[in-house]
Structure 1
Amino acid sequence: MGKMEKMRSDAADEAIAALPGWSRQDEKWMQGNYRFGTFVEAIAFVGKVAEIAEAMNHHPFIGIDYKKVTLRLTTWHAGGLTELDMQSAERFNEVYRTSIPGNG
């Protein structure tokens, strides 16, 4: 399957289940939730997410609520979830685990 082909529902569910902090919202969207010790850590994470998104040319919807960051992903051109969404979520989780103080 190519990165931009819509995933089968069961394949998307299986891939999301392997991504800590992520859940499926509906047929088109997945959501990741991240908590931080401070607002500054949350904003630093968002900056790193932006760098990854630019490099991958795949941009999440980002919500910031004090020390909580919510990311939502879909692939518009495919009409739903694709491998690109899963790869993006993996990269965001890696940043959360390794480069934010207190989370690694």
Structure 2
Amino acid sequence: MSATHSERPRLAALCDEEVARALPALPDWRVVTLGPCGSSGSDASGAPARQGLQRSWRFASFPEAMAFLQTLVEPLEALNHHPRIESNWRELTLTFTTWDAGQRLTALDMEAALAVEALYLSSASRSTNST
């Protein structure tokens, strides 16, 4: 995908201070260091650490977790930004990173996480426990 001029600022890697300023709007999300292929883990190559923005939820049941995941399809497709998705029975974990920025966090990751958070808060599933 080639970015248009208007998309470039959204795809520029954020510095640590910019990430820190954005996180208060996403209190249940955390910055994680990504290993090979976007998995959580460490990178000893000496290159700038690859980062992800991650959140987990625990739902009452597997169908409830999958129903919430389904609500994310259209909004995230509209942003053209897709998370790493991990599902373990009734626990769901999403991790955003921008591959085009060297697996660093960008404004697009923050925008996507805010969209997911808004959908979670407005969903019928919000009575479940968050982890």
Q: 1:16 aligns with which of 9, 23, 27?
A: 23
Preserved contact between residue 86 and residue 93 of structure 2 (Cα < 8 Å): yes
Q: Secondary structure at the match of 1:7?
A: coil
Q: Which has the larger radius of gyration?
A: 2
Task: Establish whether residue 89 from structure 1 lines up as the match of residue 96 from structure 2.
Answer: no
Give 5+ residue unaligned stretches, structure 1. Answer: none
The answer to whether the 8 A contact 2:120-2:126 is kept is: no
CA distance in 2, matches of 1:97, 1:103: 9
The reply to whether residue 40 of structure 1 matches residue 63 of structure 2 is yes
Q: Measure, in 1, the Cα distance between the counterparts of 2:126 and 2:97.
A: 29
1:41/1:100 contact within 8 Å kept: no
Of residues 2, 6, 16 in structure 1, which corresponds to 2:9? 2
Measure, in 2, the Cα distance between the counterparts of 1:50 and 1:90.
Answer: 14
More displaced stretch, 15-24 vs 39-48: 15-24
- Superimposed CA distance per residue, residues 51-100 of structure 1 (whole angstroms, 9 cap, x where no aligned partner): 22211100000011111110001011112100100010001011111023
Give the aligned CA root-mean-square deviation in angstroms.
1.9
d(CA) in 1 for partners of 2:111, 2:127: 20
Structure 2: gaps spanning 5 or more residues: 1-7, 34-48
| 2:100 corresponds to 1:77 | yes
Task: Work out the CA distance in 2 between the residues paired with 1:102 and 1:49.
Answer: 14
Name the TM-score, length of structure 2 as normaliser. 0.72
Q: In structure 2, which of residues 73, 84, 88 is the aligned counterpart of residue 65 of structure 1?
A: 88
Counting aligned pairs with the same residue, the percent is 35
Between the two proteins, the alignment pairs up a number of residues equal to 104
Is 49-58 or 9-18 further displaced after alignment?
9-18
Runs of 4+, deviation exceeding 4 Å: none
Higher-RCO chain (CA-CA 8 Å, sequence separation at least 6):
1
